[in-house]
């Protein structure tokens, strides 16, 4: 018994007085959390950015921005300040808001491709954010900061879920609840270093949002720092057109080089859509079960923002097959004709942004001996000569049992490339008669 008590005493003694093998720091409940530390580090470099006629006037647009150079260089989204470039009649100005003070800002570089604008503000800043060159790990903690809806500066935490690339467009996917007004603010890692620029949310989703990878902003910074050349007012349209043409070229390369296997829909086969597109298939019979209608619809989820309501660098395609169940030949023809006509819409082009639509109809017989009635309507961007918006519809009417309809909407392509696309897609359509 005495020996047992002695051993217990030794164990207690060694536990109380022995030096630990390793020292482990335990965070006190009163010590700041990671998000608090990040917020305190980043907040002094983040500001509201607004466009207005003067400091006291109501805002035309607003968002957030962050300092990347103490001499007054600030990054934000292009869409936050685009109204200054596009709405010449209103003569808007850009302001960086710091408490009760507003400072004039000027756009010196921008990218409509990546939705980035580099601003120059005539003041010095004490806090500058560091741009992170290393890509975060999937699932890593990230933080988005900005000023939402005229409220306090806000930090929201989330997870990094990799980069989504759709053709030329790149976005970081985040599980982060962004809100209006946070566009243009920074998304940072746990060290407070910038990995992206807040840009958008996925509609009708729970906390899925996107940021532009910060690597797409570094060329703008380098070019301005190396040459100190800013975009002059008279050059803006030319710069925008050059960037829109770059998008068009990239999209055409993506389409022409894509070697996807042939897709099928019922008895029909055709060029499979690019992997850059989001696609879905739906099938339904009409209420009277007179015909079967199946559609394969695809669109490019991103586009280039030019100004409010005006986009470019995008396209959408639909394949619709119609199988006759119990209609007469005449009834089936009229049903297909009605679907064909409803697929061509020309009502959404603003007269301020586009010329009037010009429409034409023709008959095309492709290499698989399928005859199509084709209707296409085209309108030109008024400020970007040589770029067009087009809507195309084509339908086969030679078979009383099966028909296929093809629709395509295109934004920001030349006439030559629109013709290439029509030929590319229609020539690939064929039918298996087995």
pLDDT tens column, 172-183: 999 988 888 999
Q: Per the domain annotation, does 8 fall within a domain?
A: no
Mean pLDDT of the chain: 87
What is the reported pLDDT for 15? 32
How far is residue 269's CA from residue 194's CA, in Å, rounded to a whole number?
47
Same domain, 117 and 141: yes
**pLDDT grade for 390, boundaries at 50, 70 and 90:** very high
Residue finishing a domain among 211, 231, 251: 231
Q: For the chain, report the end-to-end CA distance as a whole number of angstroms.
A: 95
172 Cβ partners below 8 Å, 6+ apart? 160, 161, 162, 163, 164, 187, 195, 196, 210, 211, 212, 213
Tell me, what CATH number does 348's domain have?
Answer: 3.40.1000
The number of domains in the chain is: 2
- SS3 state at 44: helix
Structure token pair of residue 307: 């100004």
**pLDDT grade for 20, boundaries at 50, 70 and 90:** very low
Average pLDDT, integer, range 343-347 = 71
Residue finishing a domain among 231, 258, 285: 231
Q: Per the domain annotation, does 9 fall within a domain?
A: no
pLDDT tens, residue by residue, 117-133: 999 999 999 999 999 99
Average pLDDT, integer, range 242-253 = 95
Q: Per the domain annotation, does 95 fall within a domain?
A: yes
Average pLDDT, integer, range 402-416 = 95
Average pLDDT, integer, range 198-220 = 89
What is the reported pLDDT for 85? 85
Same domain, 262 and 410: yes
**pLDDT grade for 77, boundaries at 50, 70 and 90:** very high
Same domain, 280 and 179: no
Nearest to 63, CA basis, from 73, 74, 77, 75: 77
Q: Is residue 296 predicted with pLDDT exceeding 90? A: yes
What is the reported pLDDT for 348? 58
pLDDT tens, residue by residue, 49-62: 999 988 777 778 89
Residue finishing a domain among 193, 213, 231: 231
130-134 long-range contacts, CB within 8 A, separation 24+: 130/192, 130/193, 130/194, 131/68, 131/193, 131/194, 131/214, 131/217, 131/218, 132/188, 132/189, 132/191, 132/193, 132/194, 132/195, 132/214, 133/215
What is the reported pLDDT for 89? 64
Between 205 and 154, name the one with better pLDDT: 154
What is the reported pLDDT for 14? 33
- Provide the domain limits for residue 134: 34-231
Q: Is residue 154 predicted with pLDDT exceeding 80? A: yes
**pLDDT grade for 434, boundaries at 50, 70 and 90:** low
**pLDDT grade for 347, boundaries at 50, 70 and 90:** low
Same domain, 219 and 347: no
Same domain, 256 and 118: no
Q: Per the domain annotation, does 2 fall within a domain?
A: no
Average pLDDT, integer, range 259-264 = 83
Same domain, 249 and 394: yes
pTM: 0.85
Counting residues of the chain whose pLDDT is more than 90, the rounded percentage is 66
Q: Per the domain annotation, does 20 fall within a domain?
A: no
Per DSSP (E only), the strands in 2-139 are 46-52, 61-69, 73-76, 93-98, 101-111, 116-121
Same domain, 284 and 388: yes
Q: Per the domain annotation, does 12 fall within a domain?
A: no
Q: Per the domain annotation, does 1 fall within a domain?
A: no
């Amino acid at each position: 018994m005495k020996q047992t008590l002695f051993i217990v005493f030794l164990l207690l003694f060694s536990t109380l007085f022995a030096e630990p093998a390793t020292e482990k720091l335990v965070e006190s409940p009163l010590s700041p959390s990671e998000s608090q530390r990040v917020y305190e580090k980043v907040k002094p470099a983040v500001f509201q950015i607004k466009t207005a006629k003067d400091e006291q006037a109501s805002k035309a647009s607003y968002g957030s921005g962050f300092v990347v150079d103490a001499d007054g260089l600030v990054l934000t989204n292009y869409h936050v300040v685009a109204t200054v470039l596009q709405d010449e009649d209103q003569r808007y100005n850009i302001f960086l808001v710091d408490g009760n003070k507003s400072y004039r800002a000027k756009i010196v570089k921008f990218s409509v491709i990546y939705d980035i604008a580099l601003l120059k503000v005539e003041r010095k800043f004490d806090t500058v954010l560091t741009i992170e060159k290393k890509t975060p790990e999937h699932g890593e903690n990230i933080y988005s900061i900005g000023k939402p809806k005229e409220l306090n500066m806000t930090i929201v935490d989330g997870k990094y879920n990799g980069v989504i690339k759709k053709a030329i467009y790149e976005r970081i996917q985040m599980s982060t609840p962004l809100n209006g007004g946070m566009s243009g603010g920074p998304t940072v890692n746990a060290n407070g270093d910038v990995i992206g620029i807040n840009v958008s949310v996925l509609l009708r989703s729970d906390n899925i949002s996107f940021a532009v990878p910060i690597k797409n902003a570094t060329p703008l910074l380098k070019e301005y720092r190396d040459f100190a050349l800013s975009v002059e007012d008279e050059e803006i349209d030319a710069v925008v057109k050059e960037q829109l043409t770059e998008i068009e070229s990239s999209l055409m390369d993506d389409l022409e080089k894509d070697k996807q296997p042939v897709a099928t829909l019922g008895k029909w086969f055709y060029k499979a859509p690019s992997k850059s597109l989001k696609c879905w298939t739906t099938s339904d019979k009409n209420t009277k079960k007179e015909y079967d209608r199946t559609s394969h619809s695809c669109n490019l989820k991103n586009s280039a923002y030019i100004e409010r309501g005006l986009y470019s660098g995008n396209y959408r395609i639909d394949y619709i097959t119609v199988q006759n169940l119990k209609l007469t030949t005449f009834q089936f023809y009229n049903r297909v004709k009605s679907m064909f006509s409803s697929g061509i819409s020309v009502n959404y082009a603003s007269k301020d942004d586009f010329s009037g639509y010009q429409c034409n109809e023709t008959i095309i017989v492709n290499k698989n001996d399928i005859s199509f009635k084709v209707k296409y309507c085209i309108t030109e961007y008024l400020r970007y000569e040589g770029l067009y918006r087009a809507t195309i519809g084509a339908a086969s009417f030679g078979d009383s049992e099966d028909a296929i309809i093809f629709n395509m909407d295109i934004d920001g392509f030349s006439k030559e490339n629109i013709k290439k696309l029509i030929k590319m897609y229609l020539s690939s359509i064929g039918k298996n008669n087995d």
